[in-house]
Structure 1
């Protein structure tokens, strides 16, 4: 009889009480889906978010343009007995050597004993949790008859955002992709067409940004643009705008008119001090802080109202948080063991 192949490092049986495991990107993708993570956030965020501490992330400059970022979090809830820290490096110059500019690792600990439980690919974990937060927000805020998703940007996050919105909005029928380098948009559309995961969905690319913004029932943006890409005057009645890319004061994915026309929501309070669209709009008097209508947890709980009719424009701005990192890592770890 042929001997069984040796299991990979993260496939070996282990006692989770005594041994730390490594969860590779392959295993993470095998145990995680945008649909299950959206459901997990929808159920868990209202229950445990108040029990999770997530201090402001320290950002250390390791060179004039490169940095090391730490994102710690810990829970006091018995249903979430974990601590975690995501270690992120930002090296924008990596594009010159054909490497991603962002790399991350996530380490999970027991909040009862302090034991390390697992380490996992933090870059992929971030892609899944970011897209699933956007998907959950569009599930709540977008029209339930939305047909067309417009994806602005074709980087690493774009396919995850597309899958997150598709998982959350079963009425979607078409995805149109735009990118500054249209070759990347065409390649992403082709890859999604050929992956066999999205029966009945049409995937297209289009060079005219203004044209496709007018078509979007849901418009998702994941770019580093410092020039507004989405013009508010082009948004159709009832559109939902999902802004993911900006995380500094100089970045802007939409103009002031989009902010002015929309009912605005955020993933968490950090967006009010980090996101260029909102910080700039508040500085220019376009919107007051009190006019930001709620965060994701408040929307899930129903403490803040979302869309009131089919004509309103809604806008959701996310900058990410260690809270959803911890919940995503929990789902991966507990599914894996």
Structure 2
């Protein structure tokens, strides 16, 4: 059994490898997916499992303690491990740091969605939220849309936005901190949102024609980042129907209120990737708004873990 720690994961991976693994994983059969979520106020234990028919099996268990970065000394908000099982014999092939997989999987998921749906000539990326996922999301989006020349940060507290801005200096882009979230949203051609919001903070009325909205943060039934106008103005897509429509408040709440219908979801990655391979782009007219809900299911962890495991074997010539 191989143990791959966080530092090794980051050494082995790059955005091309992560996104290509997710793209390839959506060209085959839909895997089985199941989740367990337990909560204690804002804290959570999330266990996610996936099984590819006739193939690999994976399980990730992570805790989410949002207050951890503010501790002295600071601790990661997300901690846990991923178990990769051999699909033939059922043995554990690798134990991989769960938080590291989450970063590459989550940001890679959003970048793949943007690559399939966002305009190819986007100029401005608005990053809403300055938590642990914000930097990977920015870097992943830049990898698929190198046309981005300007990054605008919107965050509840300016100090964390300033810290993020400092870490993004090496991107070579202009990095600005908006006075408020509305200003950042109105500036973005791509708006990536990774917060712990439970009431909408993204107002659809502010979206520019042709914008692409990447909704990442909401992962429980009571969390939501976008208001009803975002869905009313945009064409809606998800990474996987089974991990978003009836699992996450971002869609559950407007579905229950009648603001959207299940049929409003035009496709997920199992539709979008094969269509793109066949030369059929989903992005449509230049002024159309696209909305992508990143649900981050266990199958995406499994695809990412497979890429990490393969890269480790190549490094060690096994």
TM-score normalised over the length of structure 1: 0.86
Q: CA deviation at 1:154?
A: 0.4
Which residue matches 2:150? 174
Which residue matches 1:300? 273
Which of 192, 204, 208 lines up with 2:180 in the alignment? 208
The Cα offsets for residues 291-320 of structure 1, whole Å up to 9 and x where unpaired, read as 111111201111886221000000001121
Q: Sort the Cα spacing of 1:101 and 1:170 in 2 relative to 1 into closer, same or farther, 3 A.
A: closer
CA–CA distance in 1 between the matches of 2:264 and 2:307?
34
Which residue matches 2:258? 285
Which residue matches 2:223? 251
CA–CA distance in 2 between the matches of 1:315 and 1:68?
28
Q: CA RMSD in A?
A: 1.9
Q: CA deviation at 1:82?
A: 2.1
Q: Sort the Cα spacing of 1:68 and 1:278 in 2 relative to 1 into closer, same or farther, 3 A.
A: closer
CA–CA distance in 2 between the matches of 1:267 and 1:215?
25
Which residue matches 1:159? 135
Confirm or deny that 1:85 pairs with 2:64: no
Which of 42, 45, 54 lines up with 2:23 in the alignment? 42
Which of 102, 117, 134 lines up with 1:126 in the alignment? 102
Which of 118, 125, 144 lines up with 1:149 in the alignment? 125
- The structure, 1 or 2, with the larger RCO (C-alpha pairs under 8 Å, 6+ apart) is 2
Q: CA deviation at 1:33?
A: 1.1
Q: Sort the Cα spacing of 1:283 and 1:36 in 2 relative to 1 into closer, same or farther, 3 A.
A: same
Structure index of larger Rg: 1
Which of 303, 306, 318 lines up with 1:330 in the alignment? 306
CA–CA distance in 1 between the matches of 2:266 and 2:304?
26
The Cα offsets for residues 108-162 of structure 1, whole Å up to 9 and x where unpaired, read as 1211112211111111111110100100100111111100000000000000100
Moved over 6 A (4+): none
Which residue matches 2:193? 221
Is the contact between residue 38 and residue 168 of structure 1 (CA under 8 Å) also seen in structure 2? no
CA–CA distance in 2 between the matches of 1:295 and 1:149?
23
CA–CA distance in 2 between the matches of 1:320 and 1:261?
24
Is the contact between residue 178 and residue 209 of structure 1 (CA under 8 Å) also seen in structure 2? yes
CA–CA distance in 1 between the matches of 2:65 and 2:178?
30
CA–CA distance in 1 between the matches of 2:300 and 2:60?
11
Which residue matches 2:233? 261
TM-score normalised over the length of structure 2: 0.91
Q: Point out the more displaced range, 201-210 or 258-267.
A: 201-210
Unaligned 5+ segments in structure 2 are: 314-318
Q: Point out the more displaced range, 106-115 or 213-222.
A: 106-115
Q: CA deviation at 1:93?
A: 5.4
Q: CA deviation at 1:249?
A: 3.0
Q: CA deviation at 1:65?
A: 6.0
Count of residue pairs brought into register by the alignment: 307
Is the contact between residue 235 and residue 289 of structure 2 (CA under 8 Å) also seen in structure 1? yes
